[in-house]
Structures are given as structure tokens and as C-alpha cells.
Structure 1
Amino acid sequence: MKLIFGILLAGLFSCSQPQQDGTGVKTISATEYKEQAKKEGVLVDVRTTQEFEAGHLTGASNADLLDGTFAKSINDWDKEKTYYLYCKSGNRSGKAAKLMEEAGFKNVYNIGGYEDLKSAGLPTQE
């Protein structure tokens, strides 16, 4: 009975925290990002250059996870800054966030997929 109560209690407290995917990577929704975006941070689109050029969030920089240079390029990034990563569905940005976490970055958020972010009303450049 104590175990069940503990699990339920832990579940209640986790609702107010950013979700984590088991790797320690923080995942937040498009709505949560809209609030976070008011704070300082670096917005990174990890899709391919072609996907980025077809449309991206305003202010985003492109760092393609699939071209093999992402892991190397993060070595030049400031580990003290906050980073918000997105891709097409949230899968690549989750992988990129995990790489960053493993490299010592502390404030990295996977904010999901471009279409969801666009649908939430975030400004885009087409």
C-alpha cells in the first residue's frame, strides 16, 4: 500500500515539472515553450538544411543532426546558456538534446516538432 501511495504522490509532483524521457532530457510542450521563450535562450532547429529553408521558427539557427557535424559543432557552444531544440516530430531534437546533455550542457529542452510549434502560434519564416 505504501508503494502505491508513493507512486501516486510522485506522479502528482511530476506534473508540475518538465517531462523527461528517461535520459534526463527535458521535454516541454509548444505552449510551455511560448512562456519560456520570453526568457533568454538559444533556439536550434536540428532538421536538415532543406527542411529549415522550407520554413522554420523565427530566430532559430540550423544545426543539422543528420549530417554528422552536430556533435562536433556543440563543442563551440556555451554550456551555460539555455537551448531549445526542435525538429519535425521531436525525435531528432530529443537525440540532439541527449548528445548535448552527455557533453555537459545543463539547460537543454526538447520542444518537439515544427508543425506543432507553428500550430501553437509561434512566429515562423517561410
Structure 2
Amino acid sequence: MKLILGILLAGFFSCSQPQQDGTAIKTITATEYKEQAKKEGILVDVRTTEEYAAGHLAGASNADYLDGTFAKSIKDWDKEKTYYLYCKSGNRSSKAAQLMQEAGFKNIYNIGGYQDLKSVGLPTKE
């Protein structure tokens, strides 16, 4: 049991620890993002196009992580800008953030799940 807990904690903390080049994926809560939303950054919904069409945060662009084109599409993005990623639960956005980090992006935030973001009063388009 201690081994499993240790592995889980190591995996959790490795997501927010800086890599050798100084970049890190930052995971923040919906409430923390609500405060950060006032700063400059690009909001990206990594859910499917159907999920996005059913409702998304105002100002978010859609880059479907599951359709197989996400890794290709980020090649055209500015690696120096700040990106805020979300999905349904935070799982896909975490994986998308990892791909972006591996591609050399420097400022990546995983802001979690759409319903949590919506519940703190962020504007949506439905």
C-alpha cells in the first residue's frame, strides 16, 4: 500500500515540478483560474468538437486532443505564450499539457474540468 501511495504521490508532484529546462506544467483550480483569467493567455478546450459545441468557456478555442491532430496543430503555436487548457475532468488537458511541454512550450496551465470552471461563474457559450 505504501508503495502504491508513493508512486501516486511521485506522479502527482512530477506534473508540477520544473523540468531541466525550467518549464513546468502548472495545475490550478477553477477558482485560481478565475483570478488568472484577467491576465493575458490563450484558453484552449481540448475536448471533442461535439463537447465544445455543446458548451464551452467564452473565448476558448477548440483543439481536440482525441482526434489525433493535437500534436500536429501545436507545431504552429507560439511557444512563448501562456496557455490555459481544460477538458471534461482535467485528464485530457493534463495529457495535452504534457505534449506541449515536450514540444518546448514554457507556460502551460492545466485548469481542470469544464463543469468546475462553469460553476465558479466563468462566462460560457452554450
TM-score, length-scaled by structure 2: 0.82
1:104-123 CA distance string (max 9 Å, x none): 00100000000000001000
**Unaligned residue ranges in structure 2 (runs of 5+):** 1-11, 17-24
Aligned residue for 2:35? 35
Flag the structure with larger Rg. Answer: 1
Amino acid at match of 2:95: K
Aligned residue for 1:84? 84
Amino acid at match of 1:22: S
Aligned-partner SS, 1:22 = helix
Aligned residue for 1:23? 15
Cα shift at 1:40: 0.4
**Unaligned residue ranges in structure 1 (runs of 5+):** 1-19
Q: Runs in 1 of length 4+ with deviation above 2 angstroms?
A: none
Aligned residue for 1:107? 107
1:46-93 CA distance string (max 9 Å, x none): 000000000000000000000000000000000010000000000000
TM-score, length-scaled by structure 1: 0.82
State the identity as a percent. Answer: 80
Amino acid at match of 1:118: K
Confirm or deny that 1:44 pairs with 2:44: yes
Counterparts of 1:33 and 1:106 in 2: how far apart (Å)? 18
Counterparts of 2:102 and 2:120 in 1: how far apart (Å)? 30
Residues matched between the structures, number: 107
Cα shift at 1:21: 4.5
Aligned residue for 2:53? 53
